[in-house]
Amino acid sequence: MSVPACCFGALALEVSVPLAKSTLARVDAAELADRMADDLARLLHGVEVLDLAVAGAAFDPTELLRPGWPIHTALADLIQRAPRAGHSRILGLGAHEDAMPAPLQPDPTLREGPLKLLPFVLSGEAAPIEAISTQIEERLLEKGMAQAALAFFVQKAFNAPLEHVRFLSLDDLLAMTSMQYQHAGIEHLWPLIDAALFDSKDEVWLDAPPEPLLRWDGQRVRVADMDQASWQAHGFVPDGFEGERAARGFSYFQRRLQQYQAVLSSHAIAVQAIAVNATQDPRTALSA
């Protein structure tokens, strides 16, 4: 039996206040999937021959953008195990007593943020999946705004005002997240995240003093953990920083490193801190 092909996407909810809840009951999730199937049929020619699986749960972008794409992979597995009652299957996975199946439970610590995502998977034979994947990349970003009926249903189901409701491809989401990180001033971190998401075996460095020193080694991100003496000895201190100003600069460096580690952790990317003293070459330490 051939292994079905898949393509991944999400229904993006732009919110002005946190959602009142992050999961939908099973009956609402089933209706959500039916409504999304109708809207996707409007946008993507031939999509009705494919299986559709939708998670009735709102995720932070970092939960979808993780090595191995765990949320989408779980959806793909579930749709393959669902009974086939007709030519194609539409599966909406909802919560029982506010709890989703284990792989699909949103992290409650990531409830804040202006963008929430309802992931979906399209599954089927290779040829139609290839054709739909091309349409998704060509059409969703520009023409993927949800119809009013779907947008209204989602707003009512999550009991929260929504600014916009639109379909995104996985590539759209990657591009948007990269741009958000650029606007947040942490664009130097994106090449390492990208390498981890796509399981690159090539090493990738963040080596741009006074930024922290990080290295993707093909399995994890290794971080140079320096005290103030090491930080100054290895040239990470900006020119003219001495005394109290140097101490403040090092405090900023530590906060910056903590920020990077937190972002990597939110993407479930393994991080290993490597202690580096003033006599060690930090680049050599991260390469050992």
Compare 24 and 85 and report the one with higher pLDDT.
Answer: 24
Average the pLDDT over 7-13 and give the result: 96
Residues 136 and 211 placed together within one structural domain of the fold: no
Average pLDDT taken over every residue of the chain: 91
pLDDT at 242: 65
Q: Does the structure show a pLDDT above 90 at 130? A: yes
Q: How far apart are CA 119 and CA 168, in angstroms?
A: 9
Domain boundary among the residues 126, 151, 182 is at: 182
252 with 123, same domain: the answer is: no
Answer whether residue 222 shows pLDDT above 50.
yes
pLDDT tops 60 at residue 4:
yes
**In terms of domains, do 176 and 121 share one?**
yes
Say if residue 211 is in the same domain as residue 165: no
pLDDT of residue 15: 92
Average pLDDT (245-253) is 83
pLDDT for residue 1: 40
Asked if residue 124 and residue 256 are part of one domain, the reply reads no
35, 149 in Cβ contact below 8 A? Answer: yes
pLDDT band per the 50, 70, 90 thresholds, residue 238: low
Say yes or no to pLDDT of 229 above 90: no
Both structure tokens of 174: 């990657």
**Same-domain pairing of 80 and 207:** no
- Closest residue by Cα to residue 264 from 194, 217, 207: 194
pLDDT average, residue stretch 253-275: 95
Domain shared by 223 and 145, yes or no: no
User: pLDDT per residue over 34-70, tens digit each?
Assistant: 999 999 999 999 999 999 999 999 999 999 999 999 9
Quick one: what percent of the chain has pLDDT higher than 90?
72
Does residue 140 share a domain with residue 78? Answer: yes
Average pLDDT over residues 90-111: 90
If one compares 251 and 264, the residue with the highest pLDDT of the two is 264
Q: What is the average pLDDT across 85-90?
A: 79
Structural domain count, the chain: 2
Same domain, residue pair 49 and 153: yes
Tens digit of pLDDT for each residue in 149-193?
999 999 999 988 899 999 999 999 999 999 999 999 999 999 999
Same domain, 259 and 149: no
Check: CB of residue 225 under 8 Å from CB of residue 216: no
- Pair (67, 198) in one structural domain: no
- Least confident span in 128-132, 159-163, 176-180, 211-215: 159-163
pLDDT number for residue 241? 64
Domain boundary among 182, 207, 231: 182
| Torsional sign, CA 179, 185, 190, 193 | negative
Q: Locate 134 and state its tokens.
A: 């091309």
pLDDT of residue 278: 86
Q: 83-87, 119-123, 178-182: which has the minimum mean pLDDT?
A: 83-87
The residue segments making up the domain with residue 243 are 185-287
Is residue 143 domain-shared with residue 230, that is, in the same domain? no
Angle of CA points 93, 96, 100, to nearest 5°: 55
Query: Could you tell me if 269 and 67 are in contact, meaning their C-beta atoms sit under 8 angstroms apart?
Result: yes
Residue ending a domain, among 182, 213, 247, is 182
